[in-house]
Structure 1
Amino acid sequence: MEIVYSLEEIDAVAKQIIQNTTNNIILFDAQMGTGKTTLIKALLKNLGVTDATSSPTFSIVNEHVTAENKTFYHFDLYRLNSEEEAYDFGIEEYLYSDHFCFIEWPEKASNLLPKNHTKITIETLPNGKRKLFIKN
């Protein structure tokens, strides 16, 4: 699936992603500044998260819980120097918890990720819009 969107359309895009995702592990592949975190914030909002959301750049993982007690994990693996660091903080416990995991910079722990995942690739277009590809 391919979607071209502007920032004003991000909530509608988040809804489309939710409807078209078949896995609870969602990897985000994009250059820095492309809008991975902004899109994940929109996804969390549309999934019922009402608390403040931000990039877990320094904490590596943020946990969000909805009023219905659904748990979502948002990872930013950018600062990892090795897959061993991901293993050390217990990434596998999160990945196999049956909760949604949104993962920025997944290539930093690619050998630890489940084979069943959804990959979202985002590109910035010359007109400032984004082109998103979803692969389940």
Structure 2
Amino acid sequence: MEIRIENIENIKHAAKQFVDNMGRSNVFAFYGKMGAGKTTFIKAVCECMGVEDVITSPTFAIVNEYTSETTGDTIYHFDFYRIKKIEEVYDMGYEEYFYNNSICFIEWPELIEDLLPENATKVTIEEQEDGSRVVKF
């Protein structure tokens, strides 16, 4: 599927489209260049899913945990940009996150691709020349 985000004003509509089409997958690996809008889009998706907490990039924490106020579901938001060694991911117990049926949104999955579940959904976000974004999954 492809979702076009013309501007920041219609990101909520795009997030709703994404949520409506997530299917049965629970792990979503977000690919895109620095500044493509991965964190901004994940924030909009979390809000669409009922997260009322302040949603921030987990760059330094590696993982942020949120709870949907509408469903009670736990949502994990990962940022593996700062991971230097795969052992860091083993030490954090990634299996407990990826394989417990909670929703996991992962930024910079290139660094841990071998650890992703087989059913992980690959999501790409690309900035277009006109400043719009295209989300493909």
Give CA deviations for 1:67-122 in whole Å, capped at 9, x if unaligned: 34210000000000122211111111100111000000011111111010111101
Aligned residues: 134
Q: Would the aligned equivalents of 2:65 and 2:75 in 1 still touch at CA under 8 Å?
A: yes
Distance 1:101 1:112 in 2: 13
Does 91-100 or 64-73 show the bigger shift? 64-73
1:46-65, aligned counterparts within 5 Å?
Answer: 46-65=48-67
Task: Point out 4+ residue stretches in structure 1 off by more than 2 angstroms.
Answer: 66-69
2:101 corresponds to which residue?
Answer: 98
TM-score, structure 1 length as denominator? 0.95
Moved more, 62-71 or 116-125: 62-71
Give unmatched runs, 5+ long, in structure 1. Answer: none
Q: 2:18 maps to what in 1?
A: 17
Query: How large is the RMSD of aligned CA atoms in angstroms?
Result: 0.9
- SS of structure 2 residue aligned to 1:27: strand
**Structure-2-length-normalised TM-score:** 0.94
In structure 2, the gaps of 5 or more residues are none
Could you tell me the percent identity over the aligned residues? Answer: 49
1:3 and 2:3 correspond: yes
Is 1:118 the equivalent of 2:121? yes
